[in-house]
Structure 1
């Protein structure tokens, strides 16, 4: 697993990116032509691959390399600045080897939708 402290950001509007800049944390913008890339490769900025799939235009921020305490603070800051609509997740040893599109569609969006459905 890559130890680099970085945020991966997808689907953010310019105003959200401007907010992200104020955090003084390193971040990488994941563009549509990068979603077929493994998470670890996005972090290392190597072997950037397109995907034949498309993913919904969701706001997604993935957190990598931060301690649990730092993650808690980051989540509070992000939620406070961008609201609850942004999907925030911590990159794990497992998800590190998945492609961005797989992680987003098969896990993050499905889990969020399941949670919404079952917590009305």
Structure 2
């Protein structure tokens, strides 16, 4: 499995709900505390117990559930995560290298239109 370029995900605008409940920055209108790569890497470790070389689709869902503190994976959450997988990878692979999985989680966090589950 080759690593795909995901740099664009880290500079894309946040159009979904913000991660934190602090409100937008008054000057830029952007979230005060956007989701960061270190937060998402830590979410992988927290959910899986270590930082693996690859992440399965099932594990990606588990990480996302725990990171956003969703009680269950609803159809809306699953659909939004699938859209993020397709946006980042162009397909729906069985496994992802960790950098790609983290980029998918970042894309989801930048585009999720649902309700916030907790403070950042």
Work out which structure has the larger RCO, using CA pairs closer than 8 Å and 6 or more positions apart in sequence.
Answer: 2
Same fold per superposition (TM over 0.5): no
Give the TM-score taking structure 2 as reference length. Answer: 0.31
Select the structure that is richer in strand: 1
Give the TM-score taking structure 1 as reference length. Answer: 0.31
